[in-house]
Amino acid sequence: MKRAAELRGLSDDHHRGLVQARRLQRAASGETDGLSETARAFLDFWQEETSAHFRREEEVLLPVLARYGGDLAREPLVEMLVQHARIRGLVMQLSDEVTDGDARPETLRGIGELLEAHIRLEERQVFPMIEETLSTDALGEVASRLAVAEAGAGAATGRQREGGEDEAASS
Ligand SMILES: [Fe+2]
């Protein structure tokens, strides 16, 4: 089934996430050089994109589903949230390892495999369930709330940058 237009932005994020997940797995098995460069690039991607992507799913997608009678106790949704927490935990671990100059292949592999499985779960089970459950109007609400969340995130990033410049200027 073709992805609903309202969920396409999140699906596009998934495609980029898959590329990163496979890159981590290749670096972990020694197929490419640069364990620590790959880890650093992933942590940048995490900060810029995936962290906010998880929040949008948790703060917009699932609450709108709940609002319109979706059963949040269904297995793929529970599994999705468990995976979010597990991936966040592994990213904390990787971040500490990179800080210590010791990015371990097991950690890169763990994140790569879990992120890939997670994206597959959302694309194959969670999103189709949401498309089936929500009416056109409810999907429209998802889209407009996602747009607000994205605009807010953009503004916050802009404020951070401005703050950084001020600090640099005053020092
Ligand atoms: Fe996702």
**Residue 40: pLDDT over 60:** yes
Give CA–CA dist 27/42, Å, rounded. Answer: 11
Distance from Cα 82 to the centre of ligand 1, integer Å: 13
- In this predicted structure, the answer to whether residue 161 has a pLDDT above a threshold of 60 is no
The pLDDT of residue 155? 76
Q: What share of the chain is helix, strand, coil (3-state, %, to 5)?
A: 85, 0, 15
Distance CA 20, CA 18 (A): 5
What's the 101 CA to ligand 1 centre distance in angstroms? 29
Q: Which helix (H) or strand (E) holds 59?
A: none
- pLDDT for position 163: 53
C-alpha of residue 56 to centroid of ligand 1, in Å? 9
Annotate 93-105 with b (16+ C-beta within 10 A) or e (fewer): bbbebbeeeebee
Ligand 1 centroid vs 136 CA: distance in angstroms? 21
CATH code of 5-151, in short, is 1.20.120.520
Centre of ligand 1 from the C-alpha of residue 8, in Å: 11
Read off the amino acid at residue 69: G
Token pair 């999140």 in the structure block, residue: 10
Ligand 1 center to 167 CA (angstroms)? 35
CA angle, 31 then 34 then 38, to 5°: 95
For residue 166, the model assigns a pLDDT of 47
170 Cα–ligand 1 center, Å: 40
- pLDDT range class, residue 56, cuts 50, 70, 90: very high
- Residue 170, pLDDT score: 44
pLDDT digits (tens, 9 = 90+) for 89-129: 999 999 999 999 999 999 999 999 999 999 999 999 999 99
What ranges do the domains of the chain cover?
Answer: 5-151
